[in-house]
Amino acid sequence: MIKSFSHEQVAKAEAWKIAPSDSNYFVMLFDPANAPTDNIYVVEIFTKGGATPPNSHSKAHEFFYVIEGEGYASSDGDRLPIAKGDALLLNPGSVHVVENTGAGKLYTLTVMTPNQDFSELIRSGERVELDDEDLRVLTEA
């Protein structure tokens, strides 16, 4: 029987980096591998100067909520600053980049609906450990 809820403690969640050279990594909260969902819910952490590669999702909306830090979001030629408390929703098909331009790390709650194999891509990468700063930001937010 499926429970009526799923639960995760951020401090105990698995963290992954897609490729060794990537400057962002993901704290897995909920995805099809650990919850009855077709979506993916992660905390995305961008190192100082880090950014996503330009990417697009043919069917998925991608949502970012900035927990800590600042940067820029670009989509199909438009660019806007983002900072703590800002929310951004990207439509399917948009080519987008999120970049950290702040003095420290950039932390976002990132949701992609539907998952569109993003969870599988993240989990095919390498495990990483959260550092003290990550744990402080994520447990005091």
> What does the pLDDT look like over 49-91, one tens digit per residue?
999 999 999 999 999 999 999 999 999 999 999 999 999 999 9
SS3 of 108, please?
Answer: strand
Selected from 2.40.40.20, 1.10.510.10, 2.60.120.10, 2.60.40.10, the CATH number assigned to the domain covering 15-140 reads 2.60.120.10
Gap between the Cα atoms of 78 and 20, Å rounded: 29
- What mean pLDDT is predicted for residues 103-114? 97
Alpha-carbon distance of 63 to 122, in angstroms, equals 17
Amino acid 11: pLDDT? 85
pLDDT for 132 beyond 90: yes
pTM: 0.94
What number is the average pLDDT over the span 32-56?
Answer: 96
